[in-house]
Structure 1
Amino acid sequence: MTRIAEARRFYARLLAANAGAKDPRLEEAFAAIPREAFLGPGPWTVIVVPWTAGRHAIETPSADPVHLYQNHLVALDRDKGINNGEPLLHAMWMTKIAPKPGEHVTHIGAGTGYYSAILSRLVEPDGEVTAYEYEAHLAARAADNLAAYDNVTVVHGDAVRAQLPPSDVIYVNAGAIAPPASWLQALKPGGRLVFPWRPAEKIGLAVLITRLNDGFACQPFMRSWFIPCVGASRPGRAPDVTVKVPSSAQAKRIRSILLTEQKAPDATAVAIFGDVWFSSRSLDNRRSG
């Protein structure tokens, strides 16, 4: 085993352990796929987010890929604040959504394709990944990087306006004020959607949505900060669009999400953004109520 492969294997083991992964395929995927293949030639710029305010950019001391096998953001487009995200966060998210062999994953905000490649391994055999990237130069790089992955299709386009394919998993890597109704409707029964919820400037939560027989269950499960999702990071400006912004405490109490065309917001509404609203009432409570 080469020193880089050894570093990657240890990195994968640490990620899986810290994420509490029960599926051994997660560790295997992170160990198998070289991060450096998706980040361009080094040295690379690592983005450090300290507990105090601000961010720091630190260049790796060389183009040795061993420097990439740590839990760091790596810059893809510094001017736009686009990075290859923290591996542990993604390991935790993938553990939460648990992609299965044969499932279809739609990845929104694919960047240069590293996490699309990881997802593609988790749905083998027979599963597929559709990877959307809004930025043209990143989508082109992703298409090149993923050319050898037969079960991945890269789409340069706006996933907010697109008609998404029927999906078992929708994996979103850009902050949204609310998921568009079209994303919810694209979920298959039992499908899971994970996204960074940014209903207000100082609120950032990772949220898991699951499509059940009688609606969409909703679970915030950790803090999370991503750059805004183009087209889904501000409330609509139409005069008939209702907006209700939650406090941080209210945001953590969401338990279900509904389409306004199917049910008007009621007293349990924690947040309302046009055609979707978040409720503090769980689906079980709705059935009993």
Structure 2
Amino acid sequence: MTDLADVRRFYARLMAAQAGSADPRLEAVFAGVPREAFLGPGPWKVVANGGAIETPSADPVHIYQNVLVALDADKGINNGEPFLHAMWIGKVAPEPAEAVIHVGAGTGYYTALLARLVSPGAVTAFELDADLASRAASNLESYENVNVIHGDAVTSRLPPSDIIYVNAGVAAPPAEWLKALKPGARMVFPWRPTERVGLAMMVTRTEQGFACDPFMRSWFIPCVGASLAGPAAKTFDRDKAARSRSIWLTADKAPDITATVVIGDVWFSSKGVGARRPQ
């Protein structure tokens, strides 16, 4: 018989190693938050190669692997790949007492991990789907530092934040998201400037501006209201997009020859913040 506690501990070690972070708390939170509590009753449907495979039973040992688990198969909504989230969480490096915005919280599993890492700081979790938001609120009821909002993070005014953690693909981050970042704050989001370009983008607000790093491939379902570039957008191929090193608001600075992507009131540049403009 496989002992569930052993399975969780091994899963947590794998996630901590995948995160590439020296923070020892990562292993503890992955071990301490039961994934099955956020998935609904088993057996569960594991997503693989565009299809779904049902777990042999409702034994939670089956979902402590690097697998996508369907939350709403008809809408293509899943509880995301743990390895990816381990890397993202390690990269944004949550610290105690920080304020987090989680966009696209689903049923709350990764919200719970973030909440434990920033406690006594607060997590505001946005979920647009009514059923998922209701499930997240129920699942996270015991987390006193989490506020689940059934609402649209694209049109909402976000409070000042240390971390914005986005789990839906955007053509460009809304200007209000960038403005909500405190000095030194971080945002990670799935970047989809075109249908064929899918990158995970890390943004850090510095004294000079918004530094960015497209650090891996990434594909998420579209973020309603922020996933379409629009006819006036200027987009290029993946190689040029991957050279982006800073993000600017067009209200603050007009796009120049370093522009890699221009979408609405936001544009991306191949020039890092603080670097000299090419002559």
- Pairwise TM-score range, normalised by the shorter structure: over 0.9
Aligned pair count reads 278
State whether structure 2 residue 131 is matched by structure 1 residue 137: yes
Residue from 250, 264, 273 that aligns with 2:240 = 250
Q: What is the match of residue 52 of structure 2?
A: 57
SS class of match (2:115): helix
Deviation at 1:6, TM superposition (A): 1.4
Give structure 1 stretches of 5+ with no counterpart. 50-54
- Give the partner amino acid of 1:44: W
Structure 1 residue 12 corresponds to structure 2 residue 12: yes
- What's the counterpart of residue 272 of structure 2? 282
| Aligned residue number for residue 224 of structure 2 | 230
Whether the 8 Å contact between 2:194 and 2:229 is mirrored in structure 1 is no
Post-superposition shift, 1:19? 2.3
**Residue matched to 1:266:** 256
Matched, 1:123 2:118: yes
| Residues 209 and 176 of structure 1: CA distance in aligned 2, closer, same or farther (over 3 Å) | same
Cα deviation digits, residues 223-273 of structure 1 (max 9, x gap): 110000000000246xxxx41012010011000000001111111111000
The partner residue of 2:79 within 75, 84, 90 is: 84
Question: Identity of paired residues, percent?
Answer: 66
Shift of 1:189: 0.5
Q: Secondary structure at the match of 1:285?
A: coil
- Say which of 170, 174, 181 aligns to 2:175: 181
Q: 1:181-212 CA deviation, whole Å, 9 max, x = no partner?
A: 00000000101000000011111100000001
Deviation per CA, 1:142-190, whole angstroms, max 9, x where unpaired?
Answer: 0000000000000000000000111000000000000000000000010
Q: TM-score, normalised by structure 1?
A: 0.94
Q: What is the distance in 2 between the residues matched to 1:154 and 1:179?
A: 21
State the Cα RMSD in Å.
1.3
Counterpart in the other structure of 1:52: none
Inter-partner Cα distance in structure 2 for 1:73 and 1:211: 31
Instruction: Give, in whole Å, the separation in 2 of the partners of 1:47 and 1:183.
Output: 31
Q: Residues 229 and 21 from structure 1, CA distance in 2 versus in 1: closer, same or farther, beyond 3 angstroms?
A: same
Whether 2:155 is the aligned partner of 1:161: answer: yes
Paired amino acid for 2:79: N
Q: CA deviation at 1:105?
A: 0.6
Shift, 1:56, TM fit: 1.9
Equivalent residue number for residue 213 of structure 2: 219
Amino acid at match of 1:154: V
Moved over 2 A (4+): 286-289
**1:106 to 2:101 alignment:** yes
Per-residue deviation, residues 58-100 of structure 1 (Å, max 9, x unmatched)? 0000000110100000000111100000001000000100000
Partners in 1 of 2:141 and 2:57 — Cα distance? 27
- Supply the distance in 1 between the matched residues of 2:47 and 2:186 (Cα, whole angstroms): 30
Deviation at 1:287, TM superposition (A): 7.8
Instruction: Tell me the CA shift for residue 284 of structure 1.
Output: 2.8
Corresponding residue number in structure 2 for 1:25? 25
Flag structure 2 segments of 5+ consecutive residues without an equivalent.
none
Q: Report the TM-score, using the length of structure 2 for normalisation.
A: 0.97
* Map of 1:69 onto structure 2: 64
Q: Which residue of 2 aligns with 1:151?
A: 145
| Aligned-partner residue type, residue 43 of structure 1 | P
Q: Which amino acid aligns with 1:193?
A: M
In 2: Cα distance, 1:279 partner to 1:200 partner = 16
